[in-house]
Amino acid sequence: MFNKDAFSNGQIDSKLWLCRELENLGWTSNLTHIYGGWYGILAFLLLSREKFKVGRIESFDVDPTCKEYADAINENWVVNNGTFSSYTLDCNQEVPNIADLIINTSTEHFEGMDWFNEIPRGTRIILQGNNMPHDDHFICSNNLQEFVDRYKLQTIIYQGSLDFNYPSWNFSRYMVIGIK
């Protein structure tokens, strides 16, 4: 079943923030993996903005209902030489292919650190997480420093937080960009 929260203010603003910071770096990628890619909205934003040069994006989500929506949202790039592909896959298991950039904007949804531990050293990485308590959030960080400390990177190129304040609740999203 489709979850409209994928298009909420917090979700979209967080992904646009990532797009802007990635574009500022001037990085290119032959193959980008998005872990916990959900409906492929981050891939859609990256590809449609046309500022981040990428050969191919592969999106992985453990939820089998996500693939249909991700492929539909990114149909232009599925059809256009297969620039986008989505897969039903648990990133805690072996991920196919070796990407030169790995993005995970839903670190709080992963129950353990296996997915992170399996990323080869020297890989460029972008991670986002938050401090929002929720039944399907397993690893939350209380602040940016705790988030950065959790994911040990050789080099940190960018770190920051984005606050979301609503009338009845608020939370912060954290992001770190670097080299594992």
**pLDDT for residue 137 is more than 60:** no
Residue 77's SS3 state is helix
Share of the chain above pLDDT 70, in %: 96
Token pair 């990628």 is found at 29
pLDDT at res. 45: 98
Residue 97: which CATH number?
3.40.50.150
Which amino acid is it at 104? N
DSSP letters for 84-104: EEEEE--TTSPPSS--SEEEE
Total domains in the fold of the chain: 1
Backbone angles phi, psi at 71, to 5 degrees: -65, -35
Print the domain residue range for 101: 4-179
CB count, 10 Å around CB of 21?
A: 15
**112 falls in which pLDDT band (50, 70, 90)?**
confident
